Amino acid sequence: MEVNIIKENGSTTVKLEGRLDTPAAIEVSKAIEPVLAPEIAGGVIILECQDMSYISSSGLRIFLTIRKASSAAGGKVIVRHISKDILQVFMMTGFLNLFQIEDAE
């Protein structure tokens, strides 16, 4: 799993590539720590999922952690380009109602 954080134009994009399974979630949790800081979480956070092929319950927990930090800081989280399979996981778990989804496949 690869994570790239890009800050531009007042927003922060977190690009996720690969499988966000339980082992990868440990690494991703550490990688996203800067995004949870109030000065970043209070803005717009874009979770770019175009190259993410799988998400486990541990991965969903990371998305929820980002949303919680963003809500607490008055920010906004947008999930972009999730695949049909991941969109289905979001629908089954109720996450579809928690996030603004853009450009789902």
CATH topology of domain 2-102: Transcription Regulator spoIIAA (3.30.750)
Tell me what pLDDT residue 104 has.
77
Average of per-residue pLDDT across 74-89: 96
Average of per-residue pLDDT across 26-55: 96
42: three-class secondary structure by DSSP: coil
Q: Is the pLDDT of residue 66 over 80?
A: yes
Tell me what pLDDT residue 9 has.
86
Question: What are the boundaries of each domain within the chain?
Answer: 2-102
In the chain, beta strands by DSSP E: 2-8, 11-20, 44-55, 76-80, 100-102
Q: Global pTM?
A: 0.94
Q: Taking all residues of the chain, what is their mean pLDDT, rounded to a whole number?
A: 95
